[in-house]
């Protein structure tokens, strides 16, 4: 099993014993995850969870002594693996409303918000859904303040704070969007996502994408002198937000129709890997949902991590350091939210 994310700093010798113990915990959690011969028992999960919290406490002591509280190295990478597994185990044993279960949920929300920011198009409904999820997690932490380690609660609180900061940043870009223009904007978001989804089909649906483009032309035809009007013929606020998105939709539909689903060969391996992850998850959700354990999703999470981390400053690059064209750059990230597991 590889660590995630990529190592960022050399390991302090004082942290080596902690790393050794955390690696052992991860191995035991991995074995527990792979054992399908019996049901997961709460006792086994809590035992590993308690051992993990002990190591977090020891790590905090070492780093406080050396004023390295923000250090990120291999210990943190392996701890992340462990907490992801423990979190998924808590979901598996039905303890969804306890603090440890929040860890993997914050990872899912963070990934979705990151990709919404990168895609630079999303609806108020998307952000409201994320906000409600974060509020629910915050309540879970409040309920767990007397029953779970303060070290874990601090860690989870910081992760929630990171998500809330990102959410606030996304909301800021939609502050100018008026209620009158919101339905049009949300329709444009829906069309753009539909075009992107059609673009990843095994057989490119040219007629379907053309219909989406026709819908965009119809929306464009409602504009008067380049502006959207309200029912009372006034000009609602947020024109630039809706107009920019309309232009993006039209440009993207042209690119998709011209490429007809063909991916740059330099990046086809990555694209095929994303397709495979998506297809496997869809198959699991349809045919094996009754027997699916939340911990079964861990492998897919880590595969997505590997793909995300392979990008350079958010861009896919080939072996020579050349960036992918706009089509490949957008197709890859557009598929990641479809593969995100929770």
**Tokens encoding 130:** 């994320």
| Cis peptide bond N-terminal to 5, omega within 30 | yes
pTM reported for the whole predicted model: 0.79
In this prediction, residue 218 carries a pLDDT of: 97
All residues at 6 or more sequence positions from 21 whose CB lies less than 8 Å from its CB, including other chains: 51, 55
How many Cβ atoms from other residues are within 10 Å of residue 42's Cβ?
Answer: 15
Task: With beta carbons less than 8 A apart as the criterion, state whether 242 and 184 touch.
Answer: yes
Determine the Cα–Cα distance for residues 315 and 156; give it in Å rounded to an integer. Answer: 29
Determine the Cα–Cα distance for residues 155 and 157; give it in Å rounded to an integer. Answer: 5
For 105, 131, 196, the CA distances from 208, given in Å and listed in that order, are: 35, 33, 11
Determine the Cα–Cα distance for residues 37 and 294; give it in Å rounded to an integer. Answer: 16
**Tokens encoding 236:** 């609602």
In this prediction, residue 317 carries a pLDDT of: 86
In this prediction, residue 6 carries a pLDDT of: 46
Query: Scanning the structure block, which residue is given the tokens 């409602």?
Result: 222
Task: With beta carbons less than 8 A apart as the criterion, state whether 81 and 176 touch.
Answer: no
pLDDT, one tens digit for every residue, the chain (342 residues): 444 444 455 788 899 999 999 999 999 998 888 877 778 888 989 999 999 999 988 988 888 887 776 677 888 889 988 998 998 898 888 888 889 988 888 888 988 898 888 888 899 999 999 999 999 999 999 998 888 888 888 888 888 998 999 999 999 999 999 999 999 999 999 999 999 989 888 899 999 999 999 999 999 999 999 999 998 899 999 999 999 999 999 999 999 999 998 888 998 888 888 888 888 887 776 655 445 566 777 778 788 878 887 888 778 888 888 888 888 877 766 665 555 544
> Helices in the chain by DSSP H: which ranges?
16-34, 42-65, 74-92, 99-119, 124-143, 150-172, 182-198, 206-221, 239-259, 268-287, 298-309, 326-339
All residues at 6 or more sequence positions from 209 whose CB lies less than 8 Å from its CB, including other chains: 195, 198, 199, 253, 256, 257
């Amino acid at each position: 099993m590889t660590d995630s994310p990529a190592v960022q700093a050399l390991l302090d010798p004082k942290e080596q014993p902690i790393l050794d113990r955390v690696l052992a915990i991860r191995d035991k959690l991995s074995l527990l995850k792979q054992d399908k011969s019996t049901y997961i028992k709460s006792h086994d999960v809590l035992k590993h969870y308690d051992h993990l919290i002990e190591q977090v406490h020891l790590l905090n002591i070492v780093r406080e002594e050396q004023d390295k509280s923000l250090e990120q190295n291999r210990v943190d990478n392996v701890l992340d693996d462990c907490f992801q597994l423990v979190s998924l185990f808590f979901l598996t044993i039905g303890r969804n409303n306890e603090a440890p279960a929040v860890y993997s949920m914050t990872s899912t929300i963070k990934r979705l918000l990151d990709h919404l920011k990168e895609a630079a198009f999303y609806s108020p409904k998307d952000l409201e859904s994320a906000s409600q999820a974060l509020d629910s997690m915050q309540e879970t932490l409040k309920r767990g303040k007397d029953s779970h380690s303060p070290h874990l609660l601090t860690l989870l609180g910081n992760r929630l704070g990171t998500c809330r900061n990102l959410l606030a940043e996304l909301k800021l870009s939609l502050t100018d969007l008026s209620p009158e223009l919101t339905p049009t904007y949300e329709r444009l978001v829906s069309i753009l996502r539909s075009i992107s989804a059609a673009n990843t089909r095994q057989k490119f649906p040219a007629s379907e994408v053309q219909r989406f483009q026709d819908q965009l032309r119809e929306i464009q035809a409602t504009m008067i002198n380049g502006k959207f009007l309200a029912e009372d013929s006034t000009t609602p606020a947020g024109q630039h937000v809706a107009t920019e998105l309309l232009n993006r939709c039209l440009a993207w539909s042209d690119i998709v129709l011209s490429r007809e689903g063909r991916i740059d060969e330099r990046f086809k391996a990555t694209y095929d890997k994303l397709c495979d992850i998506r297809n496997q998850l869809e198959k699991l959700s349809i045919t094996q949902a009754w027997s699916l354990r939340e911990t079964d999703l861990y492998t897919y999470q880590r595969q997505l991590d590997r793909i995300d981390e392979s990008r350079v400053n958010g861009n896919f690059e080939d072996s020579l350091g050349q960036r992918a064209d706009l089509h490949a750059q957008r197709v890859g990230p557009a598929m990641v939210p479809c593969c995100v597991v929770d």
